[in-house]
Amino acid sequence: MANQKWPAGRQTSRRDWMGLALAGVGSGVLLTSCGGTVSAPTEPPAPPEPVSALRAFTFAFGKARTKASDLEVFTISNLNLEGIPSAAGKAGAWQFQFVSPSKGAIYSMRYAVADELPSFREGAWDSGSQSYSPRGMRAKPFPVQALRCDSTTAYEIAVENAADYLKKDGLPPMHFVLEQTDMYALPTWRVYWGTSLSTAEYSVYIDANQSKFLKKGKG
């Protein structure tokens, strides 16, 4: 139809042109229905990646602010997800505890980059609360503004100062805990290797306000 010729001397009318156009559209539909056009494959979504403590903090703190307006930081620690390996100071999940002095309460929040039910779900959520009394507490709350050193920076400082220990074979997993105790005037990252604080093989302490090395050693 596209190659149709008109008789000599005949003028092409508006109706003739419309007929040609419709014929072309019909041919295109026919080619498409016969497999002439192939859709490009869609890219699969990127897998979730671990995040730093302060990245997760922004979500957890925003969630906690719905509980009280006078929140202070109490503790921060990493939680490892099975499907998302921790690396270079980043983790798939983080645990946060905030204190409200006016309400005498500790609010626990978690943030995870993916679901690992039943323990973890993607995003920030409330993981419980308890009463707070400073008496007998190892750690004490501190203002949010005092926290400046991210876990990625703490990782770099810890690795630099644990070079000899890291030469050892069969190292236990690395963990991060941030809190303020009577040991130091400012909040401190403790980067340790072990399954728990009580069984840590080696620890490096970093000032979480000024991002500087403080102490290292066994345990």
Per domain, the residue ranges of the chain are: 53-218
> Which residue type is seen at 81?
L
Task: Count the helices and strands in the chain (H runs, E runs).
Answer: 3, 8
Distance from C-alpha of 55 to C-alpha of 48, rounded to nearest angstrom: 14
Distance set, CA 87 to CA 49, 91, 150, 152, 217 (Å):
10, 7, 14, 9, 22
DSSP strand E in 101-201: where? 105-112, 123-131, 174-179, 188-193
Distance from C-alpha of 40 to C-alpha of 170, rounded to nearest angstrom: 47
Q: Which two tokens stand for residue 42?
A: 């869609």
Residue 201, classed as helix, strand or coil, is: coil
Distance set, CA 35 to CA 2, 18, 22, 23, 25 (Å):
21, 26, 20, 19, 16
pLDDT in tens, the chain (219 residues): 444 443 444 343 333 433 433 344 344 332 333 445 556 667 777 888 999 999 999 999 999 999 999 999 999 999 989 889 899 999 999 999 999 999 999 999 999 999 888 888 999 999 999 999 988 888 999 999 999 999 999 999 999 999 999 999 999 999 999 999 999 999 999 999 999 999 999 999 999 999 999 999 998
Model pTM score: 0.78
